[in-house]
Chain A
Amino acid sequence: MEHDQRRAWLEDAMNRWETSLLRVCFAYLGDASLAEDVVQETFLKAWRSYARFRGAAGEKTWLMRIAVNTCKDIRKSAWFRHTDRASALDALPEGSVPFDGRDDTVTRAVMALPEKMRQAVLLRWFQGMTVEETARALRLPRSTVYHRLQKAQMMLKDELEAWFYED
């Protein structure tokens, strides 16, 4: 019974979060093939530790945390550090939705942020998670997440002026 439940949960989770995870991992790593691996690994890890997931953190937060940690492990490898990923965005397969130069600019700007700021931006702004959820996913105090988002905002302001509005 529990097995069936777990199986049903996995199918549902893949339906709901696969695309989001894939895009976050790509924007984090700048590598479609590695992002694909991370997504697979994320669902496998979640499957293995399903018994420990009680839903307190929220399913998306939990999966994003696993994915971000897996991305961090990959980034530590010597192989990753010595691979050029500058053209990864250009090499993506064509999507179903047309995009323009502005979409490209903002995506590149986010992907070029320093790693710690990028993590916070991807979860908070790109995925629309709350600061609380982002903090849980990154295992950081909320104040640190705020601080990183502020810094990211400062860095992006010049390049993405049109994307800002008066508070």
Chain B
Amino acid sequence: MKIDEEKLREAMNRRLSGLTASPGRRLRIRQRIAQEEAPKMKKKLSVGLACALALTLLTVTALAAGLLLSPRVDAARIADQTLAERYDISQAMQTYFNRAVQQNPDGSITVTYTGAEHLKYALGEYTVTIREGKAVNACWSHDGESTEGGFRAEAWGAEQIREMLRLNQRDGSMQAFEGYIRKINKAHGIQEDPAVPMTDEESRQAYREWEETAREIKDKCRLTPQEMTAAAHEAVAAVYGLNAEQSAILLADACPDEDGSYKLQNGEPCFCIQFFLVQRPLPGDLYAWEEWTEKDGTYTVYVNVETGVVESILYESGLGGNG
């Protein structure tokens, strides 16, 4: 008696078919290789020589490896898709939310979309959990509540957000639905946090800290701003599915923060670069649209200055008045 190997093989492959190749796993492998390849320079080398060596090696790595994306970027992309599929909230509609991406100790990644500032209660919070490149859970803090009745409902879903965008575009402000928001917040005892301006001394101290951090990050830099900008540009086009025409008109600008373009992101030393996409600009102003077109907005990208890995990309359509 002999076992039928082929039958056994087919049966086991059917039973284990849930285990398959994953782009996320490959990305992690490529990233770990890129990190291992990043040269570890001794301080005794002159800065110039160290930079020249590192640049040569890393340019080769970046070109050969293609795009290096952090697992967080991939997770955020999957979460965005899940939000659109499950709750009908497109990336453009995320303009009213703050998105946060958090790596969990068990290896999963949680992406949360919290209604911005005073919209927090009405819009609620969406949470998507990503494990092994797949969304394993998606929920909304208002799940189960009624969204019927337009702005009179207490839970605002996709229908209300679409109307908010329309009114925002028509009026250039949130005035048309601010009253409803205030009413909902009042009913739930939510007080708006008045913005407390920094004192002069606090501002100076914060500025000194930003400067210090930026200087430390610049010292760690192994890529030129041009190379990091190119990597960021490629990442935006790939992650947000821009076509060749859209990619060609992306306008690069330094991050507008007071600390310049070098800052920490997820604890990693990063170069920050922002891109604007305006497909139908106002005559004489390339940064403002005459009419908003799909994918228009700003893309803020953080590139790790040591490894070239794109640590984060945040898209803001600007439709909610933030453009």
A interface residues (Cβ-Cβ under 8 A, vs B):
3-4, 7, 10, 14-15, 18-19, 22-23, 26-27, 32-33, 35-36, 39-40, 43-44, 47-48, 89, 92-99, 102-104, 106-107, 110, 124-128, 153, 156-157, 160, 163-167
Across-interface contacts of B25 in A (CB, < 8 A): 18, 36, 39-40
Instruction: Give bound CA distance, A7 to B62, whole Å.
Output: 12
1/0 per residue B253-291: CB within 8 Å of A? 000000000000000000000000000000000000000
1/0 per residue B1-45: CB within 8 Å of A? 111110111011111111111100110110011001000000000
B2 adjacent to A93 (CB under 8 Å): no
**Secondary structure dominating the interface of B:** helix
Least distance between B12 CB and chain A CB atoms (Å):
5
If A18-B26, A36-B132, A92-B19 touch, whether A165 touches B11 (CB-CB below 8 Å) is no
Instruction: Give bound CA distance, A104 to B8, whole Å.
Output: 11
Least distance between A127 CB and chain B CB atoms (Å):
8
A103 adjacent to B4 (CB under 8 Å): no
B12 adjacent to A27 (CB under 8 Å): yes
A125 adjacent to B15 (CB under 8 Å): no
Instruction: Give bound CA distance, A96 to B60, whole Å.
Output: 38
B12 adjacent to A166 (CB under 8 Å): no
Contact partner of B2 (CB less than 8 A), chosen from A3, A33, A165, is: A165
| CB-based closest 6 A-B pairs | A95-B17, A95-B18, A99-B14, A97-B17, A107-B15, A93-B18
A126 adjacent to B8 (CB under 8 Å): yes
Least distance between A56 CB and chain B CB atoms (Å):
24
- With A47-B33, A99-B11, A125-B5 already in contact, 16 other A-B pairs whose C-beta atoms are closer than 8 Å: A10-B33, A23-B16, A26-B16, A26-B19, A35-B19, A94-B18, A95-B16, A95-B19, A97-B17, A99-B15, A103-B11, A106-B8, A107-B12, A110-B12, A125-B3, A160-B3
Across-interface contacts of B5 in A (CB, < 8 A): 124-125, 128
Instruction: Give bound CA distance, A102 to B2, whole Å.
Output: 18
Instruction: Give bound CA distance, A39 to B20, whole Å.
Output: 11
Instruction: Give bound CA distance, A103 to B25, whole Å.
Output: 27
B14 adjacent to A103 (CB under 8 Å): yes
Contact partner of B19 (CB less than 8 A), chosen from A10, A22, A102, A124, is: A22
B64 interfacial by beta-carbon distance below 8 Å = yes
Across-interface contacts of B12 in A (CB, < 8 A): 23, 27, 103, 106-107, 110, 126
Least distance between A17 CB and chain B CB atoms (Å):
9
A44 adjacent to B16 (CB under 8 Å): no
A3 adjacent to B14 (CB under 8 Å): no
What are 7 A-B interface contacts by the 8 Å CB criterion? A7-B64, A7-B65, A18-B22, A39-B25, A44-B32, A97-B13, A164-B2
Least distance between A92 CB and chain B CB atoms (Å):
4
B32 adjacent to A23 (CB under 8 Å): no
If A4-B64, A44-B33, A126-B9 touch, whether A99 touches B17 (CB-CB below 8 Å) is yes
Instruction: Give bound CA distance, A126 to B221, whole Å.
Output: 48
Across-interface contacts of A92 in B (CB, < 8 A): 16, 18-19
A19 adjacent to B20 (CB under 8 Å): yes
Across-interface contacts of B9 in A (CB, < 8 A): 125-128
Across-interface contacts of A99 in B (CB, < 8 A): 11, 14-15, 17
Instruction: Give bound CA distance, A135 to B311, whole Å.
Output: 43
Across-interface contacts of A126 in B (CB, < 8 A): 8-9, 12
Across-interface contacts of A93 in B (CB, < 8 A): 18-19, 132, 134
A14 adjacent to B26 (CB under 8 Å): yes
B21 adjacent to A14 (CB under 8 Å): yes
Across-interface contacts of A3 in B (CB, < 8 A): 60, 64
A40 adjacent to B20 (CB under 8 Å): no
Instruction: Give bound CA distance, A48 to B11, whole Å.
Output: 35
Instruction: Give bound CA distance, A48 to B37, whole Å.
Output: 10
Instruction: Give bound CA distance, A74 to B16, whole Å.
Output: 21
